[in-house]
Each structure stands twice: as C-alpha cells, then as structure tokens.
Structure 1
Amino acid sequence: MLPWLSVLTLTLLLSCWFPRPALGDSLEAHPVKPEAAALYNLGAMQVARGNWQGARCSYGAAARIQPDLILAQSSQALAAMELGELAVAEETFRQLVRRHPLFADARAALTALLWHRGRQGEAESHWAASVGLDERYADAQWLLTTRQWPPGPVQDLRQFLAFGTS
C-alpha cells in the first residue's frame, strides 16, 4: 500500500462508492460501518474481476462486521450461487426472506435459484412478491451492471422470465 494512504483514508474513499440499496422500504436504515462498507466495496471490485470466491469472502466479512447489512448477506449468497454452492445460497436467501419479507433482492435471487433447481411453482410465488416490491429485478442489464449480480443467477432469472412469457 502507498505509505501516504492510511487505512482510514482508504476506508473513507471506499465508503463513498458504497451503493445505495434499491429496497424501497429503507431496510438498510442503519448507518453503514466504514469497515463493512470497505469490505463490501472490496467484494464489488472482486466481482468486476470475476473473482467470485474473493467476493464471497469479502461480502461475508462485511456481513460479520455488520450483521444488519443484509445487502452484503445477499451478495455473499449470490457469489456462493455462482460458485455452485446452491444449498448454502438457498439457506441464506430463505433466512433473509423470512427475516425481511420486503427485501426484493433475496426474493428475486431465490426465484432464480429455485428455477435453476426445477421448482417452478415456488419460484413463481417468490417472483410475484419480488417484482411487486421492485420492478428493476426484471431488467437483466440492471442486475448485471448496477446491482452486480453474477452472470449465472441472471441467466437463470432470464430463463424463468422467458418461460413465463412464452
């Protein structure tokens, strides 16, 4: 690291990049701890490089530092899903939906995962709730570029949506 760039400076710079969650109901109402924001942003940088294992670890560390940072938990589960760890991802998404029923991100991700596993009816139920909370989850480009979902879950959701319109 550059000697003049302190950890505090780096943390503050990274926290400026922390994305505002698209939740619509202020589920992330608590202030984000700088350490959690820095780790979340490190995860986002690893996503940009295609390092899903590193992203999963960084998002997990952010969630451990700040357990109420549910976007970090959802991002960690999405990275696990991309890595093929479907049981871990499903358990996390289900816990998030149970604790935060208005959290569209977890519902949309669970929709993609359930579709991938061939559980169409349950996927449709979660999708109805998800799109009712936030219509942007139907936009694959938004998922990839703004929300930074992995390509696998985005593809699963695209297939689900294509099936529903056919």
Structure 2
Amino acid sequence: MQPPVTPAAAASSTSSEDDAGASYDPVTSAERAASASVSRRVGEAVRLLDLGRDLQARGEFTAALASFTAVVSEYKDLSLSEYARVGRALVLYEVGDRDDAIAEMEDVSVALRGYPEIHAALAAALYADKHAPLLAENQFAIATLLDPHYTDLAYVRDTKHWPPSLVDSLRHFITLS
C-alpha cells in the first residue's frame, strides 16, 4: 500500500511536471529552420506571382512575362507555379508568341483541370488561332459550367485583366466571327 500524498508533495510533483512540459518542444531547431526557409520561398514566389499579375493589369506585358517566368523556373516545386504558368500563357499570347502560348495553355489545362480561366483562354485561342471551333467549344463549356463570368468580355478585361488580344479572340469566339 502506498502512503497518502500530502498537499505539499502533490504541489511539488505538479510543479516538476509543468517544468518538464514547458521545456518540451516537439519541433527541433532544424525543423524550425527548414520551415522558415520554405516560408521564405513561398513568400517570394507569391510576391513574384502578385507582381506579374499587377504588371499584366497595367499592360506591362514584357515585365509581367519575366515575373511569371521567374516563378515557373525558380519555384516549379511549388504548386502555385501552375498559376504563374496561366499568367505566363496569357502574356505570351499578347506579346505575339501564340504557338507557345497555346501549347502552355493546353498543358496547364491538364495540370489545372477545372480551372475555368485557363479553359476559357484556351477556347478563345483555339478558335481564333487554330481554327478549331469544336475543341474551342469543349473548352468553353468546361469554363462556363464552372464560372459563367467568362461569357462576359468586361469581366475578363476588367476583373481578370486579360491582355487585349486575348479579349479580342474571346469576342470573336463568343460572336462566332
């Protein structure tokens, strides 16, 4: 049989358990450093992605292309680089590299299946540049089922900040001209 625990002994026991609990940290300093490193990388990638979007919105397409390309090349291990590829494809279309833009759009439409913006952009490009109305219609159906805003040219121009040439291609597709 164990002797009864006195209040002083109980307090002493609790105090030493609290001290042990306060000093225990399940995260090692190496893990903390690795986490900080990843956080810095993600922060820089997000900063470049936002910069690319801002530059695109201001019509500075060459600078936007450089920003999106930096995210794609330097941070390809991060999933947000796929969204930089969307921006890169839209800007490539504007600067006149339409074949590369369409190839990038097709590739990203697989990687981001169900992301309406890339499907709508691909529909516009396929219709205007590849003269592929059936493929364009399929892509546009996906885009507008997910987000009907893509039928509104003002939305893609003013909210999504699509480049003028891509807005024009979407206009041609929507009006079948």
> How far 1:44 moved relative to its partner?
2.4
Question: Which is greater in Rg?
Answer: 2
Q: Which structure would you say has the larger RCO, counting Cα contacts within 8 Å and 6 or more residues apart?
A: 1
> Gaps spanning 5+ residues in structure 1: where?
1-31
Amino acid of the structure 2 residue aligned with 1:58: S
Number of the residue aligned with 2:137: 124
Is 1:92–2:104 an aligned residue pair?
yes
> How far 1:60 moved relative to its partner?
1.5
Number of the residue aligned with 2:50: 41
> How far 1:86 moved relative to its partner?
1.1
> Gaps spanning 5+ residues in structure 2: where?
1-40
8 Å contact kept, 1:90–1:110 = yes
Show CA shifts across 1:18-57 (max 9, x none). Answer: xxxxxxxxxxxxxx92111211222123224322111111
* Greater share of residues in helix: 2
Is 1:66–2:75 an aligned residue pair?
yes
Q: 1:147 aligns with which of 154, 157, 160?
A: 160
Show CA shifts across 1:68-113 (max 9, x none). Answer: 2222110110000001111111111111112222111111111011
8 Å contact kept, 1:35–1:65 = no
Q: TM-score, normalised by structure 2?
A: 0.69
* Alignment length (residue pairs): 133
8 Å contact kept, 2:53–2:87 = no
Q: TM-score, normalised by structure 1?
A: 0.73
Query: Structure 1 residues 61 and 155 mapped into 2: Cα distance closer, same or farther (>3 Å)?
Result: same
Show CA shifts across 1:112-143 (max 9, x none). Answer: 11111121111111111111111111121121
Query: Structure 1 residues 116 and 66 mapped into 2: Cα distance closer, same or farther (>3 Å)?
Result: same
CA distance in 1, matches of 2:165, 2:155: 15
CA distance in 2, matches of 1:48, 1:93: 19
